[in-house]
Chain A
Amino acid sequence: MEQYLIPILTNILLALVPLVFVLVYALVTIYVEMKMAAHIQNRLAYMRTGWHGVLQPIADMLKLLQKEDTIPTVANKGLFILAPYVVFTGTYAAFAVIPFSSAYVGSNIDLGAFYLLGVSALVVVGILMGGWAANSKWTLYGGVRSAAQVISYEIPSAFVILAVVMVTGSMNFSVISKFQEGGIQNWLILGGAFPLAKKLALIPFMLIMFLIYYVSSMAESNRNPFDLPEAESELVQGYNTEYSGMKFAMFYLAEYANLFIVSAVVTFLFFGGWTSPLGAMASGPWWDAFWFVTKCMVFVVLNIWLRWTLPRFRVDQLMYMSWKVLTPFAIACVLAVGLILVW
């Protein structure tokens, strides 16, 4: 009995690490986002709950917990209740293959990147479910838009991941990270750990692929300028219009968690994952975790900055960009990277 119990308990504990991380990270990011938005817009944001409002995200969370959990009478009750949890499961499951440092990874499987693409697609199912089950025309629009958008943008991002996997020879994010060890000059955005000629040939493609992936990731996380599924001025609040209380909080949490996931993937693919930019200096399990989270937060902050600066695309422009701009370029990059590797 005991020989089963201990591994199971260990696994549960290991699986809880990202959950704790996500909760803390979400609170921090909500605060950062609100403060950044406020400063971009020349105002102050939270100032009253604690020092400069640092306790406000916690207060917000408590408020959401207490709120009445309304379910529209015309809604499809089962799907309506299930949807936020499906969305959150899809996002949270992706954390399994994210190595936070050289010492910690939830599941060190070789198909990491592949698995991540697969489970993130589950989010669409949840959003579509929520949008449909609420039985409102606005939420239906949000759900359908979201499905079209996320599926379209998964294609260029999958191609970019494919190209990087070709370079590093593995789908395991730990291996991809290790490949870029040895300092900033070995990061894939700067051509990776290759001889100089090869490096120089790779750099332009890596830059293009980084842009492609970053744009697609913004679209996949449904944030401005690609926030069409929840476009306030068009669709009221999109797929989560009818949600309140804890279910709404789940959507919210999933959105922020998803933001972290896509930032983490950018970090792994191009910016050395958990490796230190200083080479052997400042490395080790704790330092790795520090570098990883710092790099991810840079991209999260960049995303927030863009969100509060840019207007929103239109549906057809969004589709045009995915299918006629990003996808062909991504395919071309995969080809070029392949040729460079063979050469």
Chain B
Amino acid sequence: MTESTTTQTTTSSGRTLRTEEMIINMGPQHPATHGVLRLELVVDGEIVQEVIPHIGYLHRCFEKHCEHMTNYQQVIPYVDRMDYCAAMNNEFAYVVAAERLLKIEVPERVQYIRVIMAELNRIASHLIAVGTYGIDIGAFTPFLYCFIDREMILDLFEMTCGARLLYNYMWIGGLSHDLPPEFIPKAKEFCRYYKKRIEEFNNLLTFNEIFVKRTASVGVLPKDVATNYGCTGPMLRGSGVDWDLRRDDPYSVYNKIEWDVCVGKGEVGTVGDCWDRHIVRMREMEQSLRIIEQAIAQLPEGNVQAAIPKRIRPNPGEVYARTESPRGELGFYIVSDGTATPYRVKGRAPAFSNLSVIGEISRGAMIADMIAIAGSTDIVLGEVDR
């Protein structure tokens, strides 16, 4: 708990009044905290003096659970539940780590399908991010537009693996199902359709005068602060740092695909403001479409379950593998003691580091700005608390 400061104010008639900063709890059941986050605000009227995030309301002992699985495969459903908006990307990170630990090579087809799925899920996750960001700024309609489009992606996932949110699709060394024959035409159709929708969405929200006024030069996150706090993903790129693990520490087949890394340029305000973070997400969706189209074009034939090991018992050792999830650097650190159960699994959650910077960049902002800043960090509490 913070102490609120008390000050004396003298009115024009000479009377002294005692004024005090107000402490106000935002959450854990507040509409703008995107889950069960509690922000303790110290406010002076509409001005926010201090923000203290209190986390842990969604702590599910993920890492401890992993140590008590009977094998490495059983961890995957738990990984799904970390960042439930982008479960595919979480599985991707875990299986890449596990495969490096086992030192196995997976077939090309599996690699490409994983990339397609991860990028589709990236779009779905960014859709939630920008949609709820619209709500935070006060526009409700864009949110529903986003959900219509997200629904199409979820349909694609459903036809592939039967699940819509938590897939358990990527297995160590392979995939649970091959793509159904109708997947490829549907995915191509989605790419064509969604390019137009991005434009429509930008006209409705991104370049809306009020939206720009609300987000430009608000919550500016300078480059050095971003790197010091360990921000990654659109948060870091919004601040103008050209860093994307898909390009800078390539995994899977990202090095065989051409696309651009989007960074914030301060087009309407300062580099690293809320609008930059928003536009980086919007542009990343376009780039994801490019990746999906190329991956579909290059998709080789093959068996997706050929390389799945019969029994997983890695040699004693440790591995850290990092991937670019929609929220930033998602890494898994796995220690093996040679048994069938992981000795230790540590998740490096991007949302956790991204959240930590809130206090720094929202000092002195107004309450409404504070909401805009919290929304632009795009946290998922399942990942923050694990």
Chain A nearest CB from B363 CB (Å) reads 17
- The answer to whether A234 touches B145, judged by C-beta atoms less than 8 angstroms apart, is no
Complex CA–CA separation, A316 to B208 (angstroms) = 18
- The answer to whether B210 touches A313, judged by C-beta atoms less than 8 angstroms apart, is yes
Complex CA–CA separation, A315 to B368 (angstroms) = 8
- The answer to whether B138 touches A233, judged by C-beta atoms less than 8 angstroms apart, is yes
- The answer to whether B214 touches A313, judged by C-beta atoms less than 8 angstroms apart, is yes
In the complex, what residue of chain B is closest to A228 when comparing beta carbons?
A: B368
In the complex, what residue of chain A is closest to B138 when comparing beta carbons?
A: A312
Chain B nearest CB from A46 CB (Å) reads 16
Is A43 positioned at the interface, with any CB of B under 8 Å from its CB? yes
- The answer to whether B136 touches A233, judged by C-beta atoms less than 8 angstroms apart, is yes
Query: Chain A residues with Cβ under 8 A from B371's Cβ?
Result: 233-234
Is B337 positioned at the interface, with any CB of A under 8 Å from its CB? no
Query: Chain A residues with Cβ under 8 A from B369's Cβ?
Result: 314
Q: How many A-B residue pairs have CB under 8 A?
A: 78
- The answer to whether A42 touches B144, judged by C-beta atoms less than 8 angstroms apart, is yes
Is A198 positioned at the interface, with any CB of B under 8 Å from its CB? no
Is A118 positioned at the interface, with any CB of B under 8 Å from its CB? no
Query: Chain B residues with Cβ under 8 A from A227's Cβ?
Result: 138
Is A231 positioned at the interface, with any CB of B under 8 Å from its CB? yes
Interface size on A, residues (CB 8 A): 27
In the complex, what residue of chain A is closest to B46 when comparing beta carbons?
A: A315
- Convert B63-75 into 0s and 1s, putting 1 for each residue whose CB lies closer than 8 angstroms to a CB of A: 0000000000000
- The answer to whether B30 touches A231, judged by C-beta atoms less than 8 angstroms apart, is no
- The answer to whether A231 touches B138, judged by C-beta atoms less than 8 angstroms apart, is yes
Interface-side segment among A54-62, A100-108, A125-133, A303-311: A303-311
- The answer to whether B368 touches A234, judged by C-beta atoms less than 8 angstroms apart, is yes
In the complex, what residue of chain A is closest to B372 when comparing beta carbons?
A: A314
Which residue of B22, B46, B148, B208 is within 8 Å of A311 (Cβ)? B208
- Convert A199-213 into 0s and 1s, putting 1 for each residue whose CB lies closer than 8 angstroms to a CB of B: 000000000000000
Residue from A141, A310, A316 whose CB has the most chain B CB atoms within 10 Å = A310
Query: Chain A residues with Cβ under 8 A from B31's Cβ?
Result: 232-233, 236
Q: Identify which of residues 89-124 in chain A touch chain B, using a CB-to-CB cut-off of 8 Å.
A: none
- The answer to whether B214 touches A309, judged by C-beta atoms less than 8 angstroms apart, is no
Q: Identify which of residues 176-194 in chain A touch chain B, using a CB-to-CB cut-off of 8 Å.
A: none
Is A41 positioned at the interface, with any CB of B under 8 Å from its CB? yes
Complex CA–CA separation, A312 to B213 (angstroms) = 10
Indicate whether A41 sits within 8 Å of B141 (C-beta atoms), given known contacts A311-B210, A313-B214.
Answer: yes
Complex CA–CA separation, A341 to B209 (angstroms) = 37
Residue from A224, A234, A308, A313 whose CB has the most chain B CB atoms within 10 Å = A234
- The answer to whether B30 touches A311, judged by C-beta atoms less than 8 angstroms apart, is no
Query: Chain B residues with Cβ under 8 A from A311's Cβ?
Result: 134, 137-139, 205, 208, 210-211, 214
Complex CA–CA separation, A232 to B140 (angstroms) = 10
Is A70 positioned at the interface, with any CB of B under 8 Å from its CB? no
- The answer to whether A309 touches B139, judged by C-beta atoms less than 8 angstroms apart, is yes
- The answer to whether A236 touches B213, judged by C-beta atoms less than 8 angstroms apart, is no
Chain B nearest CB from A77 CB (Å) reads 24
Q: Identify which of residues 308-336 in chain A touch chain B, using a CB-to-CB cut-off of 8 Å.
A: 308-317
Query: Chain B residues with Cβ under 8 A from A310's Cβ?
Result: 138-139, 208, 210
Is B135 positioned at the interface, with any CB of A under 8 Å from its CB? yes
Is A225 positioned at the interface, with any CB of B under 8 Å from its CB? yes
- Convert A65-94 into 0s and 1s, putting 1 for each residue whose CB lies closer than 8 angstroms to a CB of B: 000000000000000000000000000000
- The answer to whether B210 touches A234, judged by C-beta atoms less than 8 angstroms apart, is no
- The answer to whether A137 touches B214, judged by C-beta atoms less than 8 angstroms apart, is no
Chain A nearest CB from B200 CB (Å) reads 11
- The answer to whether A315 touches B366, judged by C-beta atoms less than 8 angstroms apart, is yes
In the complex, what residue of chain A is closest to B143 when comparing beta carbons?
A: A41
Indicate whether A312 sits within 8 Å of B30 (C-beta atoms), given known contacts A137-B22, A137-B24.
Answer: no
Complex CA–CA separation, A138 to B214 (angstroms) = 21
Query: Chain A residues with Cβ under 8 A from B226's Cβ?
Result: none
Is B198 positioned at the interface, with any CB of A under 8 Å from its CB? no
Complex CA–CA separation, A41 to B46 (angstroms) = 32
Complex CA–CA separation, A186 to B367 (angstroms) = 47
Indicate whether A312 sits within 8 Å of B137 (C-beta atoms), given known contacts A42-B145, A137-B22.
Answer: yes
- The answer to whether A225 touches B213, judged by C-beta atoms less than 8 angstroms apart, is no
Query: Chain A residues with Cβ under 8 A from B32's Cβ?
Result: 233-234
Complex CA–CA separation, A224 to B137 (angstroms) = 11
- The answer to whether A308 touches B141, judged by C-beta atoms less than 8 angstroms apart, is yes
Complex CA–CA separation, A141 to B368 (angstroms) = 12
Is A280 positioned at the interface, with any CB of B under 8 Å from its CB? no
Query: Chain A residues with Cβ under 8 A from B135's Cβ?
Result: 232-233
Chain A nearest CB from B358 CB (Å) reads 16
- Convert A231-255 into 0s and 1s, putting 1 for each residue whose CB lies closer than 8 angstroms to a CB of B: 1111010000000000000000000
- The answer to whether B145 touches A312, judged by C-beta atoms less than 8 angstroms apart, is no
Complex CA–CA separation, A310 to B142 (angstroms) = 10
Query: Chain B residues with Cβ under 8 A from A232's Cβ?
Result: 31, 135
In the complex, what residue of chain B is closest to A314 when comparing beta carbons?
A: B368
9 A-B pairs, CB-CB below 8 angstroms? Answer: A42-B145, A232-B135, A233-B138, A234-B371, A311-B205, A311-B208, A312-B139, A313-B210, A314-B213
* A interface residue numbers (CB < 8 A to B): 37, 40-43, 137-138, 141, 224-225, 227-228, 231-234, 236, 308-317
Besides A236-B31, A311-B205, A316-B366, 17 more A-B contacts (Cβ < 8 Å) are A37-B141, A41-B141, A41-B145, A42-B144, A137-B22, A141-B367, A231-B368, A232-B31, A233-B136, A233-B137, A309-B141, A309-B204, A310-B139, A311-B210, A312-B137, A314-B369, A317-B214
